Amino acid sequence: MKSPVSKWNGPILDNHFHLNRNGRYLDAAKDFKNQGGTHLVLVHCPDFSSPPTHIDEHRSTYADTIAMADEVRSHHGLNVRVVLGPHPAAFAHQFIKWMEEDEEAGAERACENYRDSIDAALEFVNEGKAHAIGEVGRPHWPVSDEIWNLSNMLLEETMAMAAKENIALQLHVEGELDSTYRDLSNMAEKVNLSKHKLVRHYSPPQIDEEMTRGLTSSVLVGKGALQPLMETYERNKTGFMLETDYMDDPRRPGAVLGPKTVPKRTQQLLEAGMDEDALWRCHVDVPNAIYGINED
């Protein structure tokens, strides 16, 4: 039963949103709210030019992301979940830099730093201040076989930790290939991680189950995403969410998508015939199943 064209008045969640104290920051969150947004998943964004190299530095940068979430809640009354973790691009560059200095010691140092970053994030999750680990994954550009294999080793370790702790991971991975979903699905099976706990950030909009293999899709809702999403969402059993990957980067205003986008696309999906039950699952049921119910 398709929805009649009407206005969506339910909750609206953006599943991947960055904030930067030197960017638009609270004004960006305000734009989201004023367009009808109610729930944000605030994902930690590292300093790519100088990522942390010690566990105390990881704790400090994560604490600031948590503080930003608190400020968004207090200023705008938005419900904010927090996702903390080592961005794969930052760590791939550390691998390369340190291995150029000393191949064996550099790789060991980079792996140790990655594990410290996961341990620090997990501390905040266990304290109830964060709700998932991410964005983690592997490089989405060509790298050496050694960097690729190290990245996969660490990703599998992180999945095993997530299975043990029963928490979700937000993934940043490469491409739109079927092989990507197959690799991630096989990795999850190997460590007994529930596949729906793997959230593919920046997901392509083709989300039929045959493609996604049980992973949860967090669909980047650019203009071209609506038609393939409409064509495939009824063949998706696991569930999906919507995101902007808003960067809040003063050097690139509006990148990747602007903060108003998910509310606008939600209304457009309703008008295109997406049923209200599917939108409710997208904005409420799926995030509650992934992250737990957040009362903040």
Q: 3-state DSSP helix/strand/coil percent for the chain, to nearest 5?
A: 50, 15, 35
In the structure, what pLDDT confidence band is assigned to residue 296 with cuts at 50, 70 and 90? Answer: low
List of residues 6+ apart from 274 with CB closer than 8 A: 2, 3, 230, 233
pLDDT for residue 91: 77
Helices (H), 36-195: 55-76, 88-101, 103-126, 145-165, 178-190
Q: What's the average model confidence in pLDDT over 47-63?
A: 92
Domains identified in the chain and CATH numbers: 13-291 (3.20.20.140)
Could you give the count of Cα atoms lying within 13 Å of 120 in the half-sphere of its Cβ?
Answer: 24
pLDDT in tens, 159-197: 999 999 999 999 999 877 778 999 999 999 999 999 999
pTM to 2 decimal places: 0.95
pLDDT in tens, 77-89: 999 999 999 998 8
Does 2 have pLDDT greater than 60? no
Q: What's the average model confidence in pLDDT over 255-271?
A: 97
pLDDT for residue 97: 81
CA distances from 158 to 40, 63, 102, 168, 260 (A): 24, 21, 25, 10, 32
Does 232 have pLDDT greater than 90? yes
Distance CA 199, CA 74 (A): 28
Averaged pLDDT score across all residues of the chain: 93
CA trace torsion 70, 73, 79, 85 (10° rounding):
-30
